Chains A and B, each alone.
Chain A
Amino acid sequence: MDINAEERQLVLKTFLIESGERLSEMEEALVEFEASPDNLEILDKIFRSAHTLKGNSLSLEFDEIGKFIHGTENLLQKLRIREVEVTGEIVTLLLQSIDMLRHMIPDGVAGVFVMQPAHLELIRQIESAANGLKSEETSQPQTGGLPQGAEKRRRPWGRRREDIHELIDKTRSIRVGSEKLDRLLNLMGEITLSQGRIKEELKIRNDLKKDSFLQDIYTDTDPLLTELQDQIMKLRMVPVGPSLRHFIRVVRDIAKSHDKLAKLVIEGEEAEIDSTFIEALRDPLTHMIRNAVDHGIESPELRRGGGKNPCGLLTLRVYHDSGSIVIQLQDDGAGLRKKEILQKAVALGLAKESNRLSDQDIYRFIFEPGFSTSEKITDISGRGVGMDVVQKGIDSLRGTIEIRSQEKKGTIFTIRLPLTMAIISGFVVGVGEERYVIPLDSVVECLDLSEARDFGNRVVSSVHRAGSGRKDEKEKGSGFIDLRGKALPYCRLREHFQLGGKAGTRENAVVIQHHDMKAALVVDSIYGEIQAVVKPLGELFKELPGVTGSTILGNGKVGLILEVASLIKNIEVQNHSLLVK
């Protein structure tokens, strides 16, 4: 019945990892607590953590460490019941005890822990802090021995089998270095490429019909590979919580520096997200949160006047929704002031008074680079600082961002991201010898250009475009096509990328969409769908507009992956200038 040495080893390992994480949590929470000493919830959390840590230490027979934590726990309890007032010194003491535990626990696990004078000194200080001014009320003598409660809990190793098995169960999930996963993914990518080549080869030989045997094998492997790919992708998913928690601190700091009160609540910490996203999201989220506190949340007086809780509430929500990840930042602040944004946009020449714009269109102006930097930000509804960074960051993850806002009530930013970013479904198009990949989820439909009536003539001639001759119209790079009675702006990719050469006799238009904007890309040929393994283009081409990355195509050549968002924007701008001339 005894737990064998191997199991104990396993348990110790888990204990080591978990206690490290727990200590970090406690540290974060302590800082948080210092800022809002009225928030007993935080204190409860710290207390619970300390308690669990003590229990675990004792059950693993780390008596002296348990004793040490007990002292800390005792002090926390005194703070909880308001017997001891929280002060900077006390928080410092508690932080110091966390620092010490960071060394004590690994030492204990390694079997080399010895109580040292520094530890005893801290225990003493914590004790006297716990006894504080009201020492006569703390009847329990802290004479160094374990107090009664802890004594009862202390049992010899092996009796608490349930607890130990609980711990062992947790270790069934193993930790794997992310570079191993990257390697796995790269291999998967290479296999996907070979598979693509087999498919192409089968097509070329026209064996798809003739050679049913080969075709059968191919058909069998295809779903298996897709499944394998899915599984590998899932391995890369990590809970989003740990990477978001530090924003709690960020909110506190910013609020403090602006003489405001604000707190951040995170919902859906357990939601899983591609680990590559987490790093990429850091900057955009930081900007959004900073802006929400800076410009969204009003001053405590103003909030009180408006019948709100003086402490502003930010909620960061993460959840999965039909194949994408949704990250939402909600604040209960002042909301965006539509009128002023529009005025500002008009002043900057981004919009016209006469334009009929939806709320979304208006809000979207805050993403324009430098939108609110030219005047005092806080005069207008703000939210301009760095919001173009947010847009760029989200675009680079092939995500979308949407804003909902109500004046005086608050604002909700909703970011949608594809579940993974390492392999995407793509649509291959060709211009001359070049092949481009358009992310499939932004392709709406394809048209034969000769069938779609060219609007260009009418629109262009009605605004007297200089030098627009007939011949010019046919060859021009952009204009409008008639899509079921609606004018759809288009551009020829050949022209846009300055590829040179002449278009073929048949041209195709691929209708692409980003948010609610649509445009058409005119290309020579259409090759169909592929599973594209996204490869970064590297430092040199980092800021190439219209291109987001690359992939290796079935023929072994590099294919560029188009960035739909900026392409559509460019098409709009081009055609807009065409109209206003």
Chain B
Amino acid sequence: MEPLDEASPEIQILTFFLSEEEYGVNIKAVKEIIEYATMTKIPASPPFIRGVINLRGSVVPVIDFAKKFGFPESQVTKRTCIVIAEVEHDGRKNLVGVIVDRVNQVMDLLPSEIEPPPTFGTPVQNDYIGGLIKRDKNFILILDFDKVLSLDELKSGFTLVSPVP
């Protein structure tokens, strides 16, 4: 797999739906996609952290993008998935899960087909976006998982401090 990837100039983008909109992510950041499973709540954590799941013995936090981006809450359906991503922190790889409404397709693109992100007017905070794909009349925003899911970013969501004075 790897050598082929490097040889081909194509970039593979996995697309998924969040609140009726299609988004993409470079498939390199994605480890696997699993079915939605009930999770263990983490007390007093920010609302966008849905909890933790057991991924074959590892404890993996799961992030709710809808909540993080301030989209309307979506119902869990049969097609709801958890995309398991790998993000680096201090040189160590961490797994983070992301809830998406459904996974759509994998697109093979040439680098030239990906445009730089628009500077304004996006539904998602600008620096979370890594690029833009035009498809027919629609746009697909490519999310930069390393940014959205960086531990510093996620940690900043904790308003929580120990109540002990």
Report which A residues bind B (CB closer than 8 A).
Answer: 186, 189-190, 193, 433-435, 496-499, 535-541, 543-547, 550, 552, 556-560, 566, 569-570, 573-574
Known: A557-B38, A559-B40. A539 touches B57 (CB 8 A): no
The one of B41, B54, B57, B94 in contact with A434, judged by C-beta atoms closer than 8 angstroms, is B41
Contact B155 A186 (CB under 8 A): no
Chain A positions within 8 Å of B39 at CB level? 557-558
Contact A558 B52 (CB under 8 A): yes
| Min CB–CB distance B91 → chain A (angstroms) | 12
Q: A535-B58, A558-B39 are in contact. List 6 more A-B contacts (CB 8 A).
A: A539-B94, A544-B160, A558-B40, A558-B52, A558-B59, A570-B164
Report which B residues bind A (CB closer than 8 A).
Answer: 38-45, 49, 51-54, 57-59, 61, 89, 92, 94, 151, 154-155, 160-165
Contact B163 A570 (CB under 8 A): yes
| Min CB–CB distance B88 → chain A (angstroms) | 11
Known: A535-B58, A538-B59, A573-B163. A547 touches B94 (CB 8 A): no
Chain A positions within 8 Å of B154 at CB level? 540
Contact A434 B40 (CB under 8 A): yes
Contact A566 B162 (CB under 8 A): yes
Contact A558 B54 (CB under 8 A): yes
The one of B41, B45, B58, B89 in contact with A539, judged by C-beta atoms closer than 8 angstroms, is B89
Q: List 15 A-B contacts (CB under 8 A).
A: A497-B41, A498-B44, A499-B43, A536-B59, A537-B52, A537-B59, A540-B49, A541-B42, A541-B45, A541-B61, A545-B162, A547-B42, A552-B54, A557-B38, A569-B164
Known: A566-B162, A570-B164. A544 touches B43 (CB 8 A): yes
Chain B positions within 8 Å of A574 at CB level? 163
Bound complex: CA of A545 vs CA of B165, how far in Å? 13
Bound complex: CA of A439 vs CA of B44, how far in Å? 21
Chain A positions within 8 Å of B161 at CB level? 545
Contact B52 A550 (CB under 8 A): yes
Chain A positions within 8 Å of B61 at CB level? 538, 540-541
| Min CB–CB distance B51 → chain A (angstroms) | 8
Contact A545 B40 (CB under 8 A): no
Q: Which residue of B lies closest to A574 (CB)?
A: B163
Please report whether the interface of chain A is mostly helix, strand, loop or mixed according to DSSP: mixed
Contact B57 A552 (CB under 8 A): yes
Chain A positions within 8 Å of B163 at CB level? 545, 570, 573-574
Q: Which residue of A lies closest to B53 (CB)?
A: A558
Contact A535 B44 (CB under 8 A): no
Chain B positions within 8 Å of A566 at CB level? 162, 164
Contact B41 A499 (CB under 8 A): yes
| Min CB–CB distance B28 → chain A (angstroms) | 21
| Min CB–CB distance B76 → chain A (angstroms) | 14
Bound complex: CA of A556 vs CA of B16, how far in Å? 27
Contact B57 A186 (CB under 8 A): yes
Bound complex: CA of A550 vs CA of B43, how far in Å? 13
Bound complex: CA of A559 vs CA of B41, how far in Å? 9
Chain A positions within 8 Å of B58 at CB level? 535
Bound complex: CA of A379 vs CA of B57, how far in Å? 52
The residue in A498, A545, A546 that gathers the most chain B C-beta atoms within 10 A of its C-beta is A545
Contact A540 B43 (CB under 8 A): no
The one of B49, B54, B160 in contact with A557, judged by C-beta atoms closer than 8 angstroms, is B54
Chain B positions within 8 Å of A544 at CB level? 42-45, 160
Q: Which residue of B lies closest to A539 (CB)?
A: B151
Contact B57 A190 (CB under 8 A): yes
Chain A positions within 8 Å of B57 at CB level? 186, 189-190, 193, 535, 552
Top 3 A-B pairs ranked by shortest CB distance? A497-B43, A545-B162, A558-B40
Chain B positions within 8 Å of A558 at CB level? 39-40, 51-54, 59
| Min CB–CB distance A564 → chain B (angstroms) | 14
Known: A186-B57, A552-B54. A547 touches B164 (CB 8 A): no
Contact B165 A573 (CB under 8 A): yes
Bound complex: CA of A144 vs CA of B53, how far in Å? 70
Q: Which residue of B lies closest to A559 (CB)?
A: B40
| Min CB–CB distance A524 → chain B (angstroms) | 14
Bound complex: CA of A535 vs CA of B54, how far in Å? 11
| Min CB–CB distance A560 → chain B (angstroms) | 7
Bound complex: CA of A573 vs CA of B165, how far in Å? 9
| Min CB–CB distance A1 → chain B (angstroms) | 54
Bound complex: CA of A560 vs CA of B51, how far in Å? 11
Chain B positions within 8 Å of A547 at CB level? 42-43
Chain B positions within 8 Å of A560 at CB level? 40, 42-43
Contact B164 A535 (CB under 8 A): no
Chain A positions within 8 Å of B160 at CB level? 544-545
Bound complex: CA of A81 vs CA of B40, how far in Å? 70
Q: Which residue of A lies closest to B90 (CB)?
A: A539
Chain B positions within 8 Å of A569 at CB level? 164
The residue in B43, B52, B57, B59 that gathers the most chain A C-beta atoms within 10 A of its C-beta is B43
The residue in B40, B94, B154 that gathers the most chain A C-beta atoms within 10 A of its C-beta is B40
Chain A positions within 8 Å of B44 at CB level? 497-498, 544-545
| Min CB–CB distance A22 → chain B (angstroms) | 34
Bound complex: CA of A255 vs CA of B2, how far in Å? 57
Chain B positions within 8 Å of A557 at CB level? 38-40, 54
Bound complex: CA of A32 vs CA of B89, how far in Å? 39
Chain B positions within 8 Å of A543 at CB level? 162
Chain B positions within 8 Å of A537 at CB level? 52, 59
Known: A537-B52, A552-B54. A573 touches B164 (CB 8 A): yes
| Min CB–CB distance A537 → chain B (angstroms) | 6
Q: Which residue of B lies closest to A547 (CB)?
A: B43
Q: Which residue of B lies closest to A187 (CB)?
A: B57
Q: Which residue of A lies closest to B154 (CB)?
A: A540
| Min CB–CB distance A501 → chain B (angstroms) | 11
Bound complex: CA of A557 vs CA of B57, how far in Å? 10
Chain A positions within 8 Å of B162 at CB level? 543, 545, 566, 570
| Min CB–CB distance A27 → chain B (angstroms) | 30
The residue in A497, A536, A537, A538 that gathers the most chain B C-beta atoms within 10 A of its C-beta is A538
Chain A positions within 8 Å of B151 at CB level? 539-540
Chain B positions within 8 Å of A434 at CB level? 40-41
| Min CB–CB distance B50 → chain A (angstroms) | 12
Contact A535 B59 (CB under 8 A): yes
